Every structure is written in structure tokens, then in C-alpha cells.
Amino acid sequence: MSEPILPPIGMLAELTHRCPLQCPYCSNPLELLKANRELDTQTWLDLFSQAADLGVLQVHLSGGEPTLRRDLEQLIAGLSARGVYTNLITAGVGIAEGRIEAFAEAGLDHLQLSFQGARRVTTDHIGNHQGSHEKKLETARRARAAGLPLTINAPVHRHNIEEVPEFIDLALSLDAERLEIANVQYAGWALANRDRLMPDLAAVNRQADIVAAARERLAGVMTIDFVTPDYFAIYPKPCMGGWARDAFMVAPDGTVLPCHAAQTIPSLRFGRFGERRLAEIWTDSPAFNAFRGTDWMREPCRSCERREIDWGGCRCQAMAIAGDAAATDPACVKSPIHNRMAMLTDAAQAEAAPEGNESFIFRRIGSPQRDPTRALEPARR
């Protein structure tokens, strides 16, 4: 490899795939794991201890919905005892009274709360869960009352992109320190629903202008992060900071992965914690080393001046669109198939259903209601 393997500093722990919401943009895999496949409390604690030994400084506790784990307070306390920064990523629905305060008491450092819409009707519709918007508002208030720093996460797609100004107002009203305008990335359930979620270019440009103006206006008041949409990009983003470069994720069953969608690359096999130590997986796993650094790159990536900026972009996106995980990320203007991105966005607009008739494939444990394979096929020239 072109550079030494450094210790990871960040980890995403998907504690469960269970969730009260059924968001069609979820990045979880289509084959969701049931509760009986989840690691038990002690195994998670052992994993967290090995992560801290390895150098991990921050752990994002996610899912599914991580608050469905009855042992979440114990997991937070275990990380806190090792001095690891903890961020709870939650849908904020169905959290029992007193638990947020218990999370804070256990040592939780930060809470990140997702809103499917800035409007009640949007939140309830996209999550397929009536009453969820009001529950989220209450979760935000309880988090701030418990002294927890708060981030509002707004996953943006066709059906809520015009609500971006309202997301900004919502985050301010909830005393959030940070707002993440996160354009949906198409993996997992989001890829299966791509044609139903993809916004058009005009809407993307409008939201970018709105966010830029708000960042300037609210400097020193609230941080606004903007996750750009790959399908409208000129250059790709580094996947998780670069494949297996400084972060990794762990699935509910202990499978250790470089990113959310890595298991969609059929040539790779990933280790499971308990069968191997975390340090061995990070350092010696052929799957982790497959796209680490720059030596794996082909042209035009190999000689590109951006190769150590975006680290080749997203391998899973290359797999999904080019059919080859080692191909140049099609989001990059230098990719020989960059035009496929425009073809896919155009196709999504041509097939857009009338408002209210999206026919989402809602996220559910078990088989998807409809066969999503057509949405997963790579675009052709």
C-alpha cells in the first residue's frame, strides 16, 4: 500500500436493525437482521474495549433504532469509562420517560436526532409512523433539558427538499448546536427507492443556495453541515474518510465493515468480531486492504491529483452503477461513465409518480414488499 495503516479514530456501531420507523431512504441493507442475530451486552462491551485499545476516540451508536436496546445505558457507560466520545443517533420515537436523562447520567456526550420532514405530515408519511413528529420534538426538548448537545439530521430527497428553509428554522427553535442537511446517498433501501427519492437538479441547486446563505447568516449561532448529493456532483466524496483509512462500522451481528454498503461487493468477505480480534480485522483483513490507500487504483484515479483527497470515492457506488467495485466512482467527472449519473437522474424524473402515490418500498424486517432488483441494476450506456 502507498501509506502505512494508521489506527482508526471513529466507529459506527449499528446495535440493531430494529426500528419503529420504515423510512424508504434507510442505508441499512435490504436483508435486515432480527433481534436474535444481535450481539449480546458483554460482546459489545468487549468490542468497545478492543476499539478503545486500537485507538478509537469516538463511537456513533446507531441502528435501526439503538434505544430499542435495553442495555444501551450500560453500553454508553462502558464507552464513557474508557474515555470514548459517544454520539447517539436516534429517530427519537418511543423513548421511555427518564431514559434520555439516564443516557446523560451514563456519560452520553451528544444526541443526533433525525427528522424525516420539517412538517408533521412529511415526517409521519416518510417514516410511515403516525405521530412521530411530535414525539421527535419532545425528544429534542428532553435532550436539551438533560444538558445534551443536539444535532438535527435532515435526510433530504425529492419529497422534502423544498422544506430545507423550514429545517433550518426547526433546528433553531429546538436550540440545536448543529444541523446536518444530508442529501440521501443511494445504498440499501435508498437504492431500492432511488427513482422515488431522486430530486431534480433545479431543486438541488436551490437548496445549495439556501444552505450557503444560512451558513453565512448563522455563523457563530448554529453549525450547518451539508452532505452533497453524489448523483449531481463533479467530484466524489471520500467514503468514510477513505476506505478503511480512519473509521469502520460494525453490523448488529458483529460483522466489521469499512462502510454501510460494503457487503454489496460480492468479491469481498468480511470478518466477524469474536471470530477474530478487532485489531486483526482492521490490519490484516483482505477485504479491508482491498481498496485501502491508492495502490489499487486504476487510471484515471491512479495519476489524479485528487487521489489522496477523495481516496477513489465510493466503492459501493462504483459497484452499484458501473458493476465493478474497482472502477472510478461514476460521481467523478473524470469517470468514463460519468454520464450514467445524468441518465439515472433523468430516468428518475421521467418515472416520478404523482405526489402522494410514490409506492415506496418501506423498510421492514423481512423481504421487501416488491421486488427491488430493477432499481438495483447498473445503468447502461
Give the sign of the dihedral formed by CA 149, CA 155, CA 156, CA 160: negative
Cell of 89: 443517533
Give 226-230 contacts, CB < 8 A, sequence gap 24+: 226/181, 227/180, 227/181, 227/182, 227/183, 227/185, 228/183, 229/183, 229/184, 229/185, 229/199, 229/204, 230/185, 230/186, 230/314, 230/317, 230/329, 230/331, 230/341
**239 marked among binding-site residues:** no
CA nearest to 327, candidates 313, 341, 346: 313
**332 marked among binding-site residues:** no
CA nearest to 272, candidates 37, 101, 69, 83: 37
Buried b (16+ CB within 10 A) or exposed e, 336-367: ebbebbeebbeebeeebeeeeebebbbbeeee
**23 marked among binding-site residues:** yes
In whole angstroms, what is the distance from residue 329 CA to residue 291 CA?
Answer: 13
205, exposed or middle or buried, with CB in 10 Å at 0-12, 13-18, 19+?
Answer: exposed
Q: What is the DSSP letter of 310?
A: T
In whole angstroms, what is the distance from residue 176 CA to residue 309 CA?
Answer: 30
Residue recorded with cell 416520478? 352
Give 28's Cβ-side CA count (13 Å radius): 29
In whole angstroms, what is the distance from residue 265 CA to residue 206 CA?
Answer: 34
Following DSSP, what letter does each residue of 170-188 receive, concatenated? Answer: HHHHTT-SEEEEEEPP-ST
Known binding-site residue numbers: 19, 23, 26
Known binding-site residue numbers for [4Fe-4S] cluster: 19, 23, 26
